[in-house]
């Protein structure tokens, strides 16, 4: 078994709208998997089916090799959704104790201490959750999601509404959970920078269809973009800029002071650009090839989808 989550041809219609049109993808064990898409794309419906809150019309969804419709399978999943599921008038420790009882687990102060330490809240264990900041609540929600030691964590916008320092803390916790505790994380997020920082694989859904799926680094290399930046020692004469603009294969974009920006066409390498500039007497200080940003890939795919 290599997949923590396996989704095969899942379809779902709500009312008169086909929300999921036969989506398929898998999440590897140990992945931090980013699930992306605009509002209304089908992300929430996918999550509800994954958590057993909705039934798919057709297709199959397995978690760790077992059908999601089995109760023992659902116990292997922890989740943090848009509502944190915490009780304001209870302390952090009592919240964890309450959810432990729901899962039929014995009271275990030492286990709670470890969870609260993991999310850096041990010193606030006795405080009522109603006094917590948004970031603290989200960290406690993550501890709550792990109270039964699940193998898979489903997280829906875990850093939404959290200040930048709190976002950094939550991202680091997710990385630690995946790497040190060997958990698989399924992360649905609109924060593309966050996904790019911590996810190793992604799927992009739009209008109920998977438009992009795979290893993030491989996708960035495959899609190109990002371009090439050439740093020169002097300003480039207008005559040479005019020549560069005519050579479509170079994909010349713009000049900024002594920097030249290119998005070369397929088959044109950095060395080709350097050779041409050198032949025109341009002295080059540095050449940097930049891979496509996730934001660029996201915008490109959705633009293609709108045009089709």
The whole-angstrom separation of Cα 188 and Cα 157 is: 6
Return residue ranges of the chain for CATH 3.40.50.300. 3-221
Per-residue CA distances from 278 to 62, 245, 255 (Å): 57, 17, 17
The whole-angstrom separation of Cα 302 and Cα 308 is: 10
Are 160 and 82 within 8 A, CB to CB? Answer: yes
Dihedral, 18, 21, 22, 26 alpha carbons, nearest 10: -110
Q: Which residues lie below 8 Å from residue 10, measured CB to CB, with a gap of 6+?
A: 20, 22, 23, 24, 46, 49, 56, 58, 59, 60, 61
Which region among 58-67, 89-98, 207-216, 295-304 has the lowest average model confidence (pLDDT)? Answer: 295-304
74-120 pLDDT, tens digit per residue, is 899 999 998 999 999 999 999 999 999 988 887 777 889 999 999 99
pLDDT value of residue 296: 76
The helix/strand/coil state of 233 is coil
Enter the tokens of residue 167.
């976002």
Mean pLDDT, range 229-258, rounded to an integer: 90
The helix/strand/coil state of 261 is strand
pLDDT value of residue 1: 58
Are 248 and 265 within 8 A, CB to CB? Answer: yes
pLDDT value of residue 308: 67
Q: In the beta sheet, which residues pair with residue 168?
A: none
Mean pLDDT, range 124-140, rounded to an integer: 96
Asked whether residue 224 carries a pLDDT value surpassing 70, the answer given is: no
The whole-angstrom separation of Cα 202 and Cα 216 is: 6
CA-closest candidate to residue 232, choices 272, 292, 291, 273: 273
136-166 pLDDT, tens digit per residue, is 999 999 999 999 999 999 999 999 999 999 9
CB contact burial 119-137 (16+ within 10 A = b; e otherwise): bebeebbeeebeebeebbb
pLDDT value of residue 134: 95
Are 41 and 69 within 8 A, CB to CB? Answer: no
CATH for the stretch 3-221: 3.40.50.300
CB contact burial 272-305 (16+ within 10 A = b; e otherwise): bbeebbeeeebeeeebeeebbebebbbeebbeee
Enter the tokens of residue 32.
């931090």
Q: What is the mean pLDDT of the chain?
A: 91
Are 223 and 191 within 8 A, CB to CB? Answer: no
Q: Which CATH architecture has domain 227-290?
A: 2-Layer Sandwich (3.30)
CA-closest candidate to residue 255, choices 267, 268, 243, 269: 243
Asked whether residue 225 carries a pLDDT value surpassing 60, the answer given is: no
Q: Which residues lie below 8 Å from residue 122, measured CB to CB, with a gap of 6+?
A: 113, 116
Per-residue CA distances from 234 to 18, 88, 253 (Å): 58, 62, 18
Q: Which residues lie below 8 Å from residue 67, measured CB to CB, with a gap of 6+?
A: 60, 61, 73
Return residue ranges of the chain for CATH 3.30.70. 227-290
33-66 pLDDT, tens digit per residue, is 999 999 999 999 999 999 999 999 999 999 999 9
The whole-angstrom separation of Cα 180 and Cα 197 is: 18
């Amino acid at each position: 078994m290599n997949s923590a989550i396996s989704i095969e041809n899942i379809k779902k219609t709500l009312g008169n709208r086909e929300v999921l049109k036969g989506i398929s993808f898998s999440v590897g064990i140990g992945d931090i998997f980013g699930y992306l898409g605009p509002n209304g794309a089908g992300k929430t419906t996918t999550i509800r089916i994954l958590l057993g809150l909705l039934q798919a019309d057709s297709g199959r969804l397995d978690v760790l090799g077992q059908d999601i419709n089995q109760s023992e399978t659902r116990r292997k999943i922890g989740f943090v959704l848009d509502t944190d599921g915490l009780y304001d008038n209870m302390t952090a420790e009592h919240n964890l104790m309450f959810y432990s009882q729901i899962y039929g687990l014995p009271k275990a102060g030492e286990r709670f201490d470890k969870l609260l330490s993991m999310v850096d809240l041990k010193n606030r264990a006795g405080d009522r959750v109603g006094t917590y900041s948004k970031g603290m609540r989200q960290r406690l929600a993550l501890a709550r999601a792990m109270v039964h030691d699940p193998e898979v964590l489903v997280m829906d916008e875990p850093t939404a509404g959290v200040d930048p320092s709190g976002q950094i803390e939550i991202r680091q916790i997710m990385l630690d959970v995946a790497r040190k505790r060997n958990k698989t994380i399924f992360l649905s997020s609109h924060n593309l920078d966050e996904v790019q920082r911590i996810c190793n694989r992604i799927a992009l859904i739009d209008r109920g269809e998977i438009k992009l799926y795979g290893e993030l680094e491989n996708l960035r290399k495959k899609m190109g973009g990002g371009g090439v930046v050439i740093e020169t020692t002097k300003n480039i004469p207008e005559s040479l800029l005019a020549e560069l603009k005519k050579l479509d294969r170079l994909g010349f974009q713009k000049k900024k002071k002594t920097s030249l920006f290119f998005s070369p066409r397929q088959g044109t390498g950095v060395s080709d650009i350097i050779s041409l500039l050198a032949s025109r007497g341009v002295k080059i200080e540095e050449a940097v090839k930049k891979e496509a940003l996730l934001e660029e890939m996201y915008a490109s795919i959705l633009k293609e989808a709108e045009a089709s």
